[in-house]
Structure 1
Amino acid sequence: MAERIVITLGGAHLDRRGRIAGRAVMGASNPGSLFEEAGGGGFNAARNLARLGCAVTMVSPRGGDAAGDLVSQAAVEAGVEDKAFVFLDRQTPSYTAILEDDGNLVIAIADMDLYRLFGPRRVQQRALREKIAGADALLTDANLPAETLAAIVGLDEARGRLRAGIAISPAKVVRFLPSLGQLDCLFMNRAEAAALVAASTGVDAEDPATAKPQDWPKRLSRLGLGGGVVTAGGGPVLAFSGNEAVLLQPPEIDGHADVTGAGDALAAGFLAARLSGFSLGESLRHGVAASLITLASPLAVSQRMSPALLGEALEAVPQALALAI
């Protein structure tokens, strides 16, 4: 099968994770450890896609600093073509999360102002449009401004490509509202799905922790979304496309596993399978298998990710069940 070409536009920045050795004590110094690596929803997915055999190009703004160099090196190591536009006088965006020993988030700081400079005009560059015209899929994430996301998926060159997005957070997923009708798939968790419904309708959705998975396709389709994947932590994962929906219960994992990057790996595994012609249910299985590989790694993007390892991980993933919607 010919190599699948994916263009990714979105977050590629520095991720810092501080893990407290025990329970957090607010207003005090807490012993623990600090780790940093390249991250960003789009970039994590891009590196996984490259390791799964896709030809991937990453387009993102970057600062002229050591953090930017770290991101560039991570792209080289993963086999991703790096098409950054660099602002020499600015800092590369960063995300700093403080976690308790069990992996739960205490607080985080997102220094993402540079992404505001990725405006719609950059989407009109001839070289980028030609790249998109030759791609099989286009992946964006909600680190970019709403008007830029709309410009990307609305390009004439994007038509006929698989167009997907990563929600990033409940606060950022609403940036996809103007372009939902042009997306084939949006990857989100239940809280992000609920935020999208609330922002679009003006009515708070049912508590995402208690909402029935089979209700999400109808709710999200009403917003114009053509398809999506809704995760629920360790709970059932839902995928829908048009009038088809499937549900899968992931295998249990270590409760102390660092979930950073697991959702991005799921997106990559799902998209790689979809581009290879797999069914919706099998694509979801591939996505869950990719997330399991990431959960077993101390990194947000496992250096061991490969088609062979994904095949082994699939053995632990149950079949997806068809849902009536």
Structure 2
Amino acid sequence: MSEYSKKQQLLELIRSNPFIAQQDLANQLGLSRSAVAGHIAGLIRERKLLGRAYVLPDRRPVVCIGAANLDRKLRSHAPLAMGTSNPATQTESFGGVARNITENLARLGSPVALLTAIGGDSSGAALLAHAETVGIDTRGALRLDDVSSGTYTALLDQDGEMVVALADMALYDRIDPAFVAARQAQVATAALLVADLNLPAQTIEALVGQARRAEVPLVLVAVSEPKMARLPRDLAGVRLLILNAGELAARVGRPLDGDAALEAAMREVQAQGVRDVVVTRGADGVLVTVGGAAGGTTGGTIARLPAPPADVVDVTGAGDAFAAGVCWSLVQADGHGEGDLVLACRRGLQLSALTLATAETVHPDLHPESLAGAPTHMPFNEQD
């Protein structure tokens, strides 16, 4: 057997079992363990394997870092009356921006890992158990016995629109820069890194720096206007920032009235170093930068993509589904988060519409072909 054939057979064995021991490889190939180690070292130098644990380039995971909560939703049976009791129905599910994105990706067939914090309670144990059943790697999660797991309680009106939400997420302040540094290997071998702004400001800044040094594309997902203060001023190294119009206004520090103001603000944020910006606008679709460059060094356009029709049952999780669809599409293109962003946003809008039509935070029937019918060549308006 030629050296090339041995390497190819070795790769196939690792592909079928990424955790196979070197001695088992040696036994199956009829080689010495030292010979196997030499072949593995060569494959790592050729970038056909990505270091220890035999991470294959085409199976690099999307690594999501941020919130994983117990979600409680209370939906009114009739128009809400303030200052009195309202009949309602309560449901509980697993949520959190990073967790929701991760579950969507797992159901779409992507290898995924979730870096989060959970408390030493039954909710935390249930969160991790559920994640593992859908194929999410939670081995890097921070387990804290002295706090409760995060909770998010949303009050919805009779049409399923959110009226107000209450979030208990103080435990995510424990995901500090040291936590990120301790998981450097996971970050460095990710196909895409996704972080929500429930993380402390210092942690987000550390992630931006680590992603830049490791040359791993980083997607930041906003969660609320107050938490926009956690976003670093220097966004160099960030592949994509996903936020809504209110969060964009909070970033630039002024009201944004009309499309022209939104587009000017998007370019202003690009000038801060982020490569691309996506602004979600609910039923009005999204605005997305096209063809520019991080730091505002070259021009580009801003595309307006319409939202597909949707039968709204519950809005919870729709924004996270959009972000997941975008991330899934970016990685599908080449495995390195560098795909067509306009196509990615169309797929994100399609996944968001699917999620709006279900009462679940994550659509329970997603599968790898769920976005196969997403439009790929819909016209869009470009603004100079």
TM-score, with normalisation over the residues of structure 1?
0.90
Q: Cα distance, 1:2 vs. partner?
A: 2.3
Whichever residue aligns with residue 3 of structure 1, its letter is R
Matches within 5 A, 1:78-227: 78-82=134-138, 83-125=140-182, 128-155=183-210, 159-198=214-253, 204-207=254-257, 210-212=258-260, 214-227=263-276
SS in 2 for 1:106: strand
The answer for the alignment partner of 1:323 in structure 2 is: 382
Q: 1:275 to 1:114 in 2, by over 3 A?
A: same
SS in 1 for 2:284: coil
SS in 1 for 2:249: helix
Matched, 1:24 2:80: yes
CA deviation profile, 1:195-234 (whole Å, cap 9, x unmatched): 1111xxxxx1323xx3345444323223332212111110
Whichever residue aligns with residue 167 of structure 1, its letter is A
Matched, 1:34 2:90: yes
Cα RMSD over matched residues? 2.0
Higher relative contact order (CA 8 A, sep 6+): 1
Select the residue among 23, 32, 46 that pairs with 2:102.
46
Give the distance between the partners of 1:68 and 1:158, measured in 2 at CA.
33
Give the distance between the partners of 2:100 and 2:246, measured in 1 at CA.
21
Give the distance between the partners of 2:326 and 2:181, measured in 1 at CA.
29
CA deviation profile, 1:25-66 (whole Å, cap 9, x unmatched): 122111011111111111111111122222111011110112
Whichever residue aligns with residue 100 of structure 1, its letter is D
Gaps of 5+ in 1: 199-203
Whichever residue aligns with residue 382 of structure 2, its letter is L
Give the distance between the partners of 2:110 and 2:383, measured in 1 at CA.
33
Give the distance between the partners of 2:60 and 2:241, measured in 1 at CA.
20
Q: Cα distance, 1:156 vs. partner?
A: 6.1
Conservation of the 8 A alpha-carbon contact between 2:310 and 2:354? no
Conservation of the 8 A alpha-carbon contact between 2:211 and 2:218? no
Matched, 1:285 2:346: yes
Give the distance between the partners of 2:365 and 2:162, measured in 1 at CA.
26
The answer for the alignment partner of 1:201 in structure 2 is: none
Whichever residue aligns with residue 286 of structure 2, its letter is V
Conservation of the 8 A alpha-carbon contact between 1:214 and 1:323? no
Conservation of the 8 A alpha-carbon contact between 1:14 and 1:40? yes
CA deviation profile, 1:109-154 (whole Å, cap 9, x unmatched): 11111111111111121xx111111111111000000100111121
**Of the two, which has the highest radius of gyration?**
2
Greater strand percent: which structure? 1
The answer for the alignment partner of 2:279 in structure 1 is: 230
Whichever residue aligns with residue 307 of structure 2, its letter is P
Give the distance between the partners of 1:80 and 1:101, measured in 2 at CA.
33
Q: 1:324 to 1:300 in 2, by over 3 A?
A: same
Select the residue among 62, 67, 91 that pairs with 1:11.
67
Conservation of the 8 A alpha-carbon contact between 1:50 and 1:56? yes
Give the distance between the partners of 2:148 and 2:157, measured in 1 at CA.
28
Whichever residue aligns with residue 227 of structure 1, its letter is D
The share of aligned pairs that are identical, in percent, is 33
Q: Cα distance, 1:179 vs. partner?
A: 4.9
Conservation of the 8 A alpha-carbon contact between 1:19 and 1:101? yes
Whichever residue aligns with residue 225 of structure 1, its letter is V
SS in 2 for 1:101: coil
More divergent stretch after superposition (178-187 vs 135-144): 178-187
Give the distance between the partners of 1:206 and 1:120, measured in 2 at CA.
33
Q: 1:178 to 1:159 in 2, by over 3 A?
A: farther
Give the distance between the partners of 1:193 and 1:74, measured in 2 at CA.
34
TM-score, with normalisation over the residues of structure 2?
0.77
Give the distance between the partners of 1:34 and 1:296, measured in 2 at CA.
18
SS in 2 for 1:240: strand
Give the distance between the partners of 1:37 and 1:280, measured in 2 at CA.
31
Select the residue among 366, 369, 372 that pairs with 1:311.
372
Q: 1:273 to 1:156 in 2, by over 3 A?
A: closer
Q: Cα distance, 1:78 vs. partner?
A: 2.0
Q: 1:175 to 1:251 in 2, by over 3 A?
A: same
Whichever residue aligns with residue 43 of structure 1, its letter is R
